[in-house]
Structure 1
């Protein structure tokens, strides 16, 4: 392995250690906020370490052809120590502020969407609902008026609605030569 490959491996593995520590810090933040316990926590821990083992192997294959040395574990740990010593506290403070900001933005968006929905309801849906109710009421009023007129007509002619409904049946029976009476 040439000197350039060794330096590239040193930087890549140290950077991987820093990235692993950063994501572990982030994962711990979520774990504390979500109060994960038991089997879910164990599964997520195994998933975390499995994914980082795959990432570490992928980086080794890309940087130095997959040559594995014990020094690489020390470099991985060194990257983690660098992160935890110099970057962990600022990252977590920044992440707390970002999470609070995201929460405020999401609440503001929720209020905005509720206000838009309320406006659409009051300006469009509610008047449309009133209009439909008015049309239905008017239609029922007209139909009831026609029912009253038709009922008065039936009372004056002396025929019942049943007798009127039998007229087409009687006509069909006459066409076939049978008496309907």
Structure 2
């Protein structure tokens, strides 16, 4: 058979009745087509290797071929900037900050001292006001005592005056009677 052409080989193979045909295909052919379709669906839905390989190629092409060494240059520039900042700017900033913090600390100490002085003055004023209030209350009580004494004296003097007035009235009334007696004689 190996020396026969395919057409003759087909003619020499005994014909076996074919199984049932669906849509013009035999069951074996239909099964093979279904397996082939399932394989294609599987490869499209679940096999991501071709997509990932394509994206990987695109990524490599984008970053290595198109951009060249631009990212490397950018990173080198960033490294140089950071080195410059660490070597020059940071020490200058630290020195300026320490100088300014010294001035701020002195200002804060001065302000704190001034506030402390004001607090002491306020406390002294409060003590003085308390002492003044105490003196004022003492003077008020002395004044009230003095006014009560004066009222008592006034009442006593008024009483004495009323007694003196009534004695004088009596005396003048008696004198008047004696004069009228004398005048009637």
**What TM-score, normalized to structure 1?**
0.34
* Structure of higher CA gyration radius: 2
1 or 2 for the larger relative contact order (CA 8 Å, sep ≥6)?
1
